[in-house]
Amino acid sequence: MVGPGGLREVRRLCHWGPLVALSVVIVCSATAIADAVLWYWPLDTAGGSVNFIMLLNWTVMILYNYFNAMFVGPGYVPLGWTPEKSQDCMYLQYCKVCQSYKAPRSHHCRKCNRCVMKMDHHCPWINNCCGYQNHASFTLFLLLAPLGCIHASFIFVMTMYTQLYNRISFGWSSVKIDMSAAKRDPRTIIPFGLSAFAASLFALGLALGTTIAVGMLFIIQMKVILKNKTSIESWIEEKAKDRIQYYQTDETFIFPYDMGSKWKNFRQVFTWSGIPEGDGLDWPVREGCHRYSLTIEQLKQKADKRVRSVRYRAIEDYSGVCCPVTKGVKTFFTTPCTEEPRIALSKGDLILATRGLKHWMYGEKILNSAGDGGIRERGWFPRKCVEKCQYDSETDQPVDGEKKSR
Neighbours of 325 (CB within 10 A): 9
Are 305 and 334 in contact by the 8 Å Cβ rule? The answer is no
Question: What residues are annotated to the active site?
Answer: 123
Task: Give the whole-angstrom CA distance, residue 330 versus residue 339.
Answer: 20
Closest CA to 68 of 19, 4, 140: 140
DSSP string, 214-232: HHHHHHHHHHHHTTT--HH
Are 296 and 93 in contact by the 8 Å Cβ rule? The answer is no
Are 176 and 166 in contact by the 8 Å Cβ rule? The answer is no
Residue ranges of alpha helices (H) inside 40-179 are 46-67, 135-165
3-state SS track over 287-347: CCCCCCHHHHHHHHHHHHHHHHCEEEEECCCECCCCCCCCCCHHHHHCCCCCCCCECCECC
Are 366 and 374 in contact by the 8 Å Cβ rule? The answer is yes
- Cα distance from N-terminal residue to C-terminal residue, the chain: 57
Phi/psi zone of residue 274: left (φ > 0), alpha (ψ -120 to 50 degrees), beta? left
Give the type of residue at 63: L
